[in-house]
Amino acid sequence: QVQLVESGGGLVQAGGSLRLSCAASGRIFSINTMGWYRQAPGKQRELVAAITSGGLTNYADSVKGRFTISRDNAKNSVNLQMNSLKPEDTAVYYCNFAFGSAYYPSGNWGQGTQVTVSS
């Protein structure tokens, strides 16, 4: 059974940084594109960043230049370094396997990790 466990969220002031981590198990990790997604209160879940098995990355316009996605295939993990955080980055952040050119989330969701940015 596939499991995705996110960690690293917290409360931070605007301009601060956080590093999120996601550990995956139960599925061949290294061949999959992975994505970080977020859902703010009252809004739909959206893609934040994605990384292919070969390390190619894609970012939402709202986080370009501030967030960096990376992966460690040996550890079955994907990370999201978030710098220059803004209050509008406040959301629950999730990782998932990402399918196709639209990075459609294709696995079961984990519990997510809450990121709260105060102004």
Say if residue 29's pLDDT is above 80: no
% the chain with pLDDT above 90:
80
At residue 28, the pLDDT reads: 74
Q: Report which residue type is found at 23.
A: A
72 DSSP assignment: E
84 DSSP assignment: S
- pLDDT, one tens digit per residue, over 35-89 is 999 999 999 999 999 999 999 999 999 999 999 999 998 899 999 999 999 999 9
Spatial separation of the C-alpha atoms in residues 5 and 47, rounded to whole Å: 17
- pLDDT, one tens digit per residue, over 94-111 is 999 999 889 999 888 999
Say if residue 92's pLDDT is above 80: yes
Say if residue 25's pLDDT is above 90: no
Average pLDDT for 1-21? 95
Pairs from 27-30 (Cβ < 8 Å, separation ≥ 24): 27/2, 27/97, 27/107, 29/73, 29/76, 30/73, 30/76
